[in-house]
Amino acid sequence: MEEFAGAMGTSASLVLRLGQAFFSSASLFFMCWNNEFFRYSAFCFLMAVMSIVIPWSLGLALVDACSIFLKCPIRRREVVSFIVRGDWVLSFMSLGAACSAASVTDYMKNHRTYLCNPTLCDRSQLSAAIALLSCFLSLASSIFNLWLLHSL
């Protein structure tokens, strides 16, 4: 069976998973500096989605690491199908959360009245941008695993 770069059980997949966890954690970190994030549902949605992405990514990174070190890649159709579905759902949820948080922040910055401290708005925009990077890594991982699923 061919090895696809980025598919489950490869070192590229491990790097993708660790990148997802890193960017999701960074997004949470920058959003937590904003002490008024709970007033807007878009920011709460971003926090909730990133809180789900972190354990998902770290858990699958652990599975990838064990698979690499034990040289026993996961090639069961049901498992790979579950991982592909989970990655698709989380990537689209994080895309929606990042876009909604970015749009709310942009609205708050460009509104005529004083709605947001410029420093807090910049941190919120940075958090949304980092969440978007996590979304792209998750989408790439799901595409690689979808490619693997097709070959099984």
For residues 135 and 91, the answer to whether their CB atoms sit within 8 Å is yes
Smallest CA-to-CA distance from 105 within 26, 20, 31, 21 is with 31
How many helices (H) and strands (E) the chain has is answered by: 4, 0
For 83, the token pair is 């991982």
Who wins on pLDDT, 7 or 59?
59
Q: What is the dihedral of CA 131, 132, 134, 138, to 10 degrees?
A: 140
For residues 57 and 24, the answer to whether their CB atoms sit within 8 Å is yes
91 has pLDDT over 60? yes
2 has pLDDT over 60? no
Q: How far is CA 43 from CA 74, 90, 110, 112, 127, in A?
A: 36, 16, 17, 21, 10
Tell me how far apart the alpha carbons of residues 26 and 130 are, in angstroms, rounded to a whole number.
7
Question: Span 93-102, mean pLDDT?
Answer: 92
Structure confidence by residue, pLDDT tens digits, 118-129: 777 888 888 899
Share of the chain above pLDDT 70, in %: 90
Residues ≥6 apart with Cβ < 8 Å to 88 = 139, 142
Structure confidence by residue, pLDDT tens digits, 37-58: 677 788 889 899 999 999 999 9
pTM: 0.85
For the chain, state the CA radius of gyration. Answer: 17
Q: What 8-state DSSP symbol labels residue 3?
A: P
pLDDT score, position 105: 84
Question: Span 59-66, mean pLDDT?
Answer: 91
